[in-house]
Amino acid sequence: MALFDKVKEQAEKAKVQAMDLKGKAEHKVEDVQAKRKADDLLDDLGRLLYAERTDRPIEGAEAEIQRLVGELRQLEQAGVRILP
């Protein structure tokens, strides 16, 4: 019985380690996705600003800028680094 108990204990430890590793991997994936989203939002914001600064304003740009800034703020509050 002692051997069976040791095997069972090792299996339980391996299960806990696997679950911990899975959680870390999922967290890393979420971090990468949030950073990509922030980069995409900044790209869109940059295009709108460029159009404005080159005297080619886009209709509805102000509302879109406000939306983009709002989303970026939410990401920043969630811990995503937006500015270097």
* Residue 9 domain-assigned (yes or no): no
pLDDT in tens, 33-79: 999 999 999 999 999 999 999 999 999 999 999 999 999 999 999 99
How many domains, in total, are found in the chain?
1
Q: Is the dihedral of CA 56, 58, 59, 60 positive or negative?
A: negative
How many C-beta atoms surround the C-beta of residue 38 within 10 A?
Answer: 19
- Decide if 53 is inside a domain: yes
Kindly report the pTM of this predicted structure: 0.71
Residue 24 in any domain: the answer is no
**For residue 58, what are the domain limits?**
43-84
Would you say residue 50 lies in a domain? yes
**Residue 68, in any domain of the structure:** yes
36 within some domain? no
pLDDT tens digits along 1-13: 687 788 788 878 8
Q: Tokens 């204990």 sit at which residue? A: 9
